[in-house]
Structure 1
Amino acid sequence: MAETKITVIYDNPTDPEAFESAYPAEQLDAARSIPGHLRFEASKVWPKEDGSPTPAYRALDLYYPDYAAASAAVATPQAAAFFEAMQRLSTGGVRVLFSDIEISQH
């Protein structure tokens, strides 16, 4: 069975400074505490050269051995704390995806 990844896509927040001040503890550290992930990635979308809004602001990816492990992870108290903070901080919107990794190069 292929790996599964959970991706959180944060849309542009209404107050980027407030988001950035809370992000390290309430999202990065909280995501790292969700059990069972094989690896963790965080990224920030490059600003557009013309100054127009980007299609998203940040993303987090948590990789799990399979769908069952990812599903079990999001049912933990650590995930509950992460998702509560995610909803509160994501003033511009947020999307969460579960994806089957079809091709991996790690």
Structure 2
Amino acid sequence: MPTKITFIIDNPTDVEAFEEAYAPLVELATQLPGLRRTESARVWPKEDGTPTPAHRTLDLYFDDYDAASAAVTTPVAGELFTRLGELGTPFTGLFSDIERA
């Protein structure tokens, strides 16, 4: 079953600095072995001005769970996770079975 890894990235304290550092991370993610598709999205601001529940999402699509699991054990993934952590913005990572595209 197709699998995706989703990173839900919290709101950074310095959006401009975060965005500058984020773009190279997406490029690095495209180097993961077995990756079929990448989707990066920015959360729309709320109309009432209150903080959004997250700032960005990054979805990485693979043929199946085994391919996704293998990809996260590579040096590229290690660098990706390190650099994502160095941004100083908390994030959550999820593995999901894609039931319907």
* Structure 1: gaps of 5 or more residues: none
Q: 2:14 is matched with which residue?
A: 15
Length-normalised TM-score, structure 2: 0.96
Count of residues in correspondence between the two structures = 101
Matches of 1:74 and 1:47, distance apart in 2 = 31
- Structure 1 90/59 Cα, relative in aligned 2: closer, same or farther at 3 Å? farther
Name the SS for the 2:18 alignment partner. Answer: helix
Matches of 2:88 and 2:96, distance apart in 1 = 21
Root-mean-square deviation over aligned CA pairs: 0.8
Matches of 1:34 and 1:20, distance apart in 2 = 21
Name the SS for the 2:23 alignment partner. Answer: helix
How far 1:14 sits from its partner (Å)? 1.3
How far 1:88 sits from its partner (Å)? 1.1
Length-normalised TM-score, structure 1: 0.91
Alignment deviations for residues 22-58 of structure 1 (CA, whole Å, 9 cap, x no partner) = 1111x11111111111111010000111111001100
